[in-house]
Amino acid sequence: MVTLERLHAEHADALLAFERENRAYFARTVPDRGDAFFTPTGFAARLASLRAEQEAGVCHFHVVLDEEGRLIGRINLIDVTNGSAELGYRVAESATGRGVATAAVAQMCRLAWTSYGLTSLTAVTTLDNPASMKVLTRSGFIRVRDTVVGGRPGVGYLRFLGAPSPHEAHTSAAS
Ligand SMILES: CC(C)(COP(=O)(O)OP(=O)(O)OC[C@H]1O[C@@H](n2cnc3c(N)ncnc32)[C@H](O)[C@@H]1OP(=O)(O)O)[C@@H](O)C(=O)NCCC(=O)NCCS
């Protein structure tokens, strides 16, 4: 079971530690943030900028916590416009392969609908990221376009909110 918490200033230390520990892992599939991001000053500036965007309602950032309250992931909605936003997520290498991203996406979709008033979400991933493609597909996202992400061939996805994904429907029927 994972918990999503809306990003706030007190997450700063745990978030920087998470990004540092997983820098090389994330860089295998998503663009690296650059050295300045990983310094205390650079990270503080970046966090302040994210929180300003969040205050303005343009984005909704969240950390993903495990049962012990450890920060094991991030999941974000960016560029909120016309009832839609783009979903993005990352999970600590040590926590992968256990359904963390799938559970976080399910919670994020519910929050997007019930708390943020969104009616659809988009997402993109690269063709060389089968784990992310699997997370999106079983979370009810459908492939809608071919695209390029950070210079690599990718896929664009769309999910309409308000109904459970096939995975959620199956999980609740089985329990
Ligand atoms: C992609 C990512 C979010 C997945 O997180 P996760 O918590 O491991 O995801 P889940 O466990 O919910 O689901 C992943 C699924 O992909 C599968 N998978 C993993 N690697 C795979 C591969 N190479 N080929 C096919 N399937 C793969 C897993 O087995 C799992 O399926 P299962 O539950 O049926 O076994 C995580 O690896 C990550 O943060 N990667 C780096 C950042 C990133 O790529 N973010 C997404 C950008 S679009």
One digit per residue, pLDDT tens: the chain, 175 residues? 899 999 999 999 999 999 999 999 999 999 999 999 999 999 999 999 999 999 999 999 999 999 999 999 999 999 999 999 999 999 999 999 999 999 999 999 999 999 999 999 999 999 999 999 999 999 999 999 999 998 999 999 999 998 777 677 777 666 5
33 vs 26: CA distance, rounded Å? 10
Pocket test for ligand 1, best of 18, 28, 90 (most atoms within 8 A of CB): 90
Pick the closest to residue 129 from 25, 23, 3, 4 (CA basis).
25
31 CB less than 6 Å from ligand 1? Answer: no
Joined together, the tokens standing for residue 36 give 């300045």
- 50 Cβ inside 6 Å of ligand 1: no
What is the best residue among 29, 94, 121, 157 to mutate for testing ligand 1's pocket, by most ligand atoms within 8 Å of CB?
Answer: 29
30 CA → ligand 1 middle, Å = 13
Atom of ligand 1 nearest to the CA of 104: 12
CB distance 102 to ligand 1 below 6 Å: yes
β partners of residue 61: 76
**Ligand 1 atom at shortest distance from the alpha carbon of 126:** 48
Q: What are phi and psi of 16, to 5 degrees?
A: -65, -40
Task: For ligand 1, atom 23, name the residue with the nearest CA.
Answer: 130
Q: What is the enclosing helix (H) or strand (E) of 101?
A: helix 100-114
